[in-house]
Amino acid sequence: MDLTVAYGAYAALEGVTFALEKGSRVALIGPNGAGKSSLLRTISRLLKPKQGVLYLDGRDLQKVPLGEISRSIAVVPQDTAIDFDFSVEEVVAMGRYPHLQRFQQEGRKDREIIAAAMQLTGIAHLASRSAVNLSGGERQRVVIARALAQEPEVLLLDEPTANLDLNYQVEFLELAHTLNREKNVTIIAAIHDLNLAAQFFDTFILLNEGKILALGRPEEVLTPQNIRTAYGMEAVVQRNPLHGKLQLTVMKGNGSSTGEGRAPAGITVHVIGGGEEAVPLLDALLQAGFRPSIGPLTQEDSGHRFAGYHNLKVITLPPFSPVTDVYHTRHLELIREADVVLVPPVPFGPGNLRNLEAVEETLCPDRLVALLEETPVAARDYCEGKAQLLYARLQEKGAKVFTEIKELLAFLGRLQERGGKAK
């Protein structure tokens, strides 16, 4: 298409070319000023290209009659202001106008479509209310219902969830997904929330400075490098364990911890193992100014992701791998660098018992071992009592037991005040 759109001398879009199949779900993403709204306005014919051609079903969009355009394309704009004192039902009914002849009244089918649109958007109970007296979120749903009543082939959404409560954001995007799946409606949405976009859209166009930086599947577009280039931010991209879609976590600055800028703690700390049970302890240590090392862990472990986000030293195991001699040796080296070794309340089984054995192997008078037992080890021992025996031997050799993170942090604070080293 080689599409160029300008406001006077300012080019909002420049040399943009892409092709979409009918029935696509497309997320337009990019920073403010990237050209997302300008592209939507050009598709809806509110703007005329300075250069290039937009095609709809193989036809030059600028040459398609406006009446046909209004039946084929519906728009939900950013600005949902309603200036005239129409009822909610009357505003939604405007979506049927392109399907009616001049002065023709809505028929039974039209009224059913209007009622269904209000029901789907949760505004049926507002039907007789004046649209000008609604909240921003309610107005947004009225405008969305009007677009649905239009029964379009293409639905253009400009920040459709901006004024909606969280539950309505998800409900609306689920509704758009249903329209796409059941009626093959093409959805093109400018959206800022990349995690919501990844959950509901299958095609992404990343705009930056009026040009397409990346186009394709979420995995092809939502990469750390693309996020860095477009938004100037570092991001961790991973799969959400619940729905399997991509999920982005924006890094703080260059990925340093919450304790950045604070004086480094005199005590060096190593946390063995990981998992969900270890993350609260790791977070508490960072908040207290420590930067612990962690491991050994696989990349899929939540503790490993935490370490990556905060740029902490971590021993990385291959996927589905036990702690082999090579990684055990590395673990011993990391433990010996620490003044304090912390054992969080993680479950122990045949795959990670060797981590606990490493603690016993390196136990010495000038290295403190702290066992955090928010849950007793007996409830976490899945290796026929071997973890309990190790815990007992560690305590006999001087390991300290703490039942709360707060208690453990207080002890580390006192240790730090006495000289900054446990040795």
Length of the chain: 423
Asked if 224 and 295 sit in the same domain, the reply is no
Token representation of residue 345: 């309340």
Pseudo-torsion of CA 395, 290, 364, 406, nearest 10°? -20
Q: For 251-305, how does the pLDDT look when each residue is reduced to its tens digit (9 = 90+)?
A: 765 444 444 444 445 789 999 988 888 889 999 998 888 889 998 999 888 888 8
* CATH code of 376's domain: 3.40.50.720
pTM tops 0.85: no
For the record, the structure tokens of 422 come out as 């446990």
Provide the domain count of the chain: 2
- Six token digits for residue 245: 């879609």
Measure the CA–CA gap between 134 and 105, rounded to whole angstroms: 26
Residues 49 and 178 in one domain: yes
- Whether residue 398 contacts residue 421, with contact meaning beta carbons closer than 8 Å, is answered with no
Over residues 121-140, the pLDDT tens digits come to 889 999 999 998 888 778 88
For 182-211, the pLDDT digits (tens) are: 889 999 999 999 999 999 999 999 999 999
Q: Would you say residue 14 lies in a domain?
A: no
Structure confidence at residue 265 (pLDDT): 52
317 and 233 in a single domain? The answer is no
- Domain assignment present for residue 259? The answer is no
What phi, psi does 134 have (nearest 5°)? -90, 160
279 and 197 part of one domain = no
245 and 273 together in one domain:
no
- How far is it, in rounded angstroms, from Cα 19 to Cα 28? 13
Whether 213 and 136 share a structural domain: yes
Burial of 30 (0-12, 13-18, 19+ CB in 10 A): buried
Q: What is the mean pLDDT of residues 82-101?
A: 89
| Domain hosting residue 288, numbered range | 269-417
Are residues 129 and 196 both part of a single domain? yes
Partner residues linked to 369 by β-bridges: 341
CA-to-CA distance for 216 and 221, rounded, in angstroms?
6
User: Encoding tokens for residue 327?
Assistant: 């990684």
More confident residue, 168 or 369: 369
Q: What is the distance between the alpha carbons of residues 202 and 181, in angstroms, rounded to a whole number?
A: 12
State the angle between helix axes of 353-362 and 325-336 in degrees (0 to 180), rounded to the nearest 10.
40
Do 288 and 218 have their domain in common?
no
Distance CA 226, CA 198 (A): 15
Nearby residues of 206 by Cβ (< 8 Å), 6 or more positions away: 29, 30, 212, 213, 214, 215, 221, 226, 230
Statement: residue 389 has pLDDT above 50: yes
Q: Do residues 150 and 215 share a domain? A: yes
Q: Which DSSP letter does residue 53 get?
A: -
Residue 179: give its domain's CATH number.
3.40.50.300
**Predicted local distance difference test score (pLDDT) of residue 258:** 43
Q: Can you tell me the mean pLDDT for 372-386?
A: 94
Look at residue 179 and tell me whether its pLDDT is greater than 90.
no
Alpha-carbon distance 186 to 179, whole Å? 9
* 339-365 mean pLDDT: 92
